[in-house]
Structure 1
Amino acid sequence: MTKYSVLVPFLPRRPEQLLPYAALVDWTAAERLWQGQSMLVDPFQGFAAAAGSGFRVPVGFGVTLMPLRHPFEAAHQVRSLAMATGHPVVAGFGPGGASFQRSLLGAPYASPLTAAREYLGIVRGLLNGETVQAEGVYFSCHGALAPSPAPAVELGLGVLRPGMARVAGAVADCAITWLTPASYLRDTVLPALREGAAAAGRPVPRIVAMVPLALRRPDRAPAEVALASNAPHLAAPHYIDMLQRAGIAVDEGDTALSARRLVEGRGFLHGDIDGLVEQLAEYREAGVDEVVLNTTGVFNLHGHHAAMADLKTILAAVA
């Protein structure tokens, strides 16, 4: 059975801005509250602040970027958050784009796949209570976390293309995708996950899909909402490559055209509530275990109340 969760549709500047969305998870059938990487209030600190305000809900990171934290610090932070919330945490990590890697590290990872494999291997060992002795190409660690009981942590890996999906199959508990049409998940991502899991002799990780969407309203043009939600992704090389593999012909020189094609290719979902429920069902049929409702475009164009109204309507329909 596919579960439905909620993405915080903006980058908070104050932790209290998270509270209405934490309350939505607390008071509805939503499974979990998610946030991507933020360069304003850090997601680890924001979720801890929400827990301290009384909203201790399950949370997930989709995804935080590896160049920002050594894997020992990542393991420490995520276990601390699980202890603060009292709930299992889904900790998703990803290498980020090559330009981001270069800006922090001096050069991009020559092999993002190797970097991701090393990173998750160290984090998993630490969270399992092991004394990790790892010397990698990109990450090394010699140490252990102080022993303490804590809720479980599920390790996720950001996945767009088959290579990273095979790595996720081998080392992650879940593959976390963003902007990926259901058909692409079914035909490309899931087979690669299965391949990686079979090679490692382990279960196939579950799929968490971050799905951008908007309800049809008189004041909304779907392509405009799609662009407001995903403009940076439509210009990023790794997203362009993924979308082209999915059959969506992104035009780097015309983002408005790319946004229209994104809607037509069901990378961005739009319609009345019955239509959205039907489109979301395609993710269930594609093998997705958790759909994260992403109303960023609605928030950016129409504000908090409009985004919250869409989330409440959709959650009520899919519950």
Structure 2
Amino acid sequence: MPMRFSLQLPPQLTRPEQAVPFALLTQRPGAHRLWQGQGLAVDSHHLVAWLAGQGIRVRSGFGVSLMPLRSPYQAAVEARSVALATGRSVVAGFGPGGIAGQRAFLGRPYASQLGAVREYVRIVRGLLRGAPTDVTGAEFATSARLVELPAPRVLVGLGVLRERMALLAGETADTAVTWLASASYLGETLLPALRKGAEGRAGGGPPHVAAYVPVGLSGPGRTPAELAHAACGAHLRAPHYREALRRSGIAVDGDGSTEDAAKLVDGGVFLHGTAEEIHARLDEYRALGVDEVVLNATGVALTKGVRAAERDLGEILEAAPQPGGTGGEQ
């Protein structure tokens, strides 16, 4: 199956109407799914349901929703609710967030990051399969099942930054959602770990891989470092992101400087150029067997405006190799 191209909705939208042009882009030939991160202004799940109410029913991906903000049972209900509202498949991706965020939302960090994720994914996957789910863990406990309803498939994803989480995703998740991962880091570290983690799992084969890739077209008044800083600068202040980049060979200071952002461009994390030049770099992901690339124009949206981001994404989609592959519901 050819590599698919999906779109990330730019963050910090304050009205659901602002999402309409991006949702319509995903209905073009060659576009597959509309992805969102954790919605802190407008809730991500509510937004997709609102779009469905307007008659715009899209395949949706949530990558990633923060575990501290919802119980596993509520997470399963919300993901399936979106599938029911849209009539389309959903990828419900989760992650523990940073230690600071856990303290802010829960009052304390998880005692074990990987242990908490394992429990959470086990519960959500069990519930979405319709099975009675009885799990008692150190962080999460559920003894319940969802009301039986026919619904499009909901795949459970796991945000992956480093090797140990990739191993866990290979063992437990349907989809691995990567971020700030260059093609070389995927090929040398994350994909081998996913395959190793999947050894012996029922159903065979490693998870589907959806790789977020921040992009920006070249043009007057645009510099790669400026766009990369807007897209990724906030993440570079967080220790777990800096550590993931260090393991990929990109050492950043986390001081909010454009010099840090420029390293993301040099390291192949942020892709910049003409649409054709960006696709030439995306061919590296295709060669690795990545299933889906999520085009992330956040840097353009935050520096040049939401309409400019929409135009960039449309132009990149237009230049995508054909066929783009919208068949199937993965």
What TM bracket, shorter-length normalisation? over 0.9
Contact 2:213-2:294 at 8 Å conserved across structures? yes
Tell me the CA shift for residue 100 of structure 1: 0.4
Tell me the CA shift for residue 65 of structure 1: 0.4
- 1:270 is matched with 272
Distance 1:155 1:137 in 2: 21
Tell me the CA shift for residue 103 of structure 1: 1.1
Tell me the CA shift for residue 254 of structure 1: 5.5
- 1:16 is matched with 17
Q: Which runs of 5+ in 1 are unaligned?
A: none
Cα RMSD (Å): 1.1
Contact 1:190-1:287 at 8 Å conserved across structures? no
1:261 aligned partner, one-letter code: K
- 1:136 is matched with 137
Q: Among residues 244, 247, 272, which one is paired with 1:245 in the alignment? A: 247
Tell me the CA shift for residue 242 of structure 1: 0.8
Distance 1:104 1:253 in 2: 25
User: 1:59-109: CA deviations, max 9, x gaps?
Assistant: 100100000000000001111110000001010000000100111112111
Number of aligned residue pairs: 319
User: 1:6-52: CA deviations, max 9, x gaps?
Assistant: 00012221222111111111234210001000111100100000011
User: 1:218-252: CA deviations, max 9, x gaps?
Assistant: 21010011001111111111110111111112122
| Higher alpha-carbon deviation: 144-153 or 193-202 | 193-202
- 2:84 is matched with 83
Q: Which has the higher helix share?
A: 1
Contact 2:159-2:178 at 8 Å conserved across structures? yes
- 1:231 is matched with 233
Tell me the CA shift for residue 215 of structure 1: 0.9
1:306 aligned partner, one-letter code: A
Contact 1:170-1:196 at 8 Å conserved across structures? yes
Contact 2:62-2:93 at 8 Å conserved across structures? yes
2:12 aligned partner, one-letter code: L
Distance 1:34 1:253 in 2: 28
Q: Which runs of 5+ in 2 are unaligned?
A: 325-330
2:314 aligned partner, one-letter code: K
Distance 2:11 2:110 in 1: 28
- 2:328 is matched with none
Alignment TM-score, normalising by the size of structure 2 = 0.94
Distance 1:139 1:277 in 2: 42
* SS in structure 2 of the partner of residue 104 of structure 1: helix
| Higher alpha-carbon deviation: 163-172 or 109-118 | 109-118
Distance 1:282 1:238 in 2: 25
Distance 2:49 2:306 in 1: 22
Distance 2:281 2:88 in 1: 30
Q: Among residues 258, 269, 282, which one is paired with 1:256 in the alignment? A: 258
- 2:6 is matched with 5
Tell me the CA shift for residue 199 of structure 1: 4.8
Distance 1:295 1:253 in 2: 23
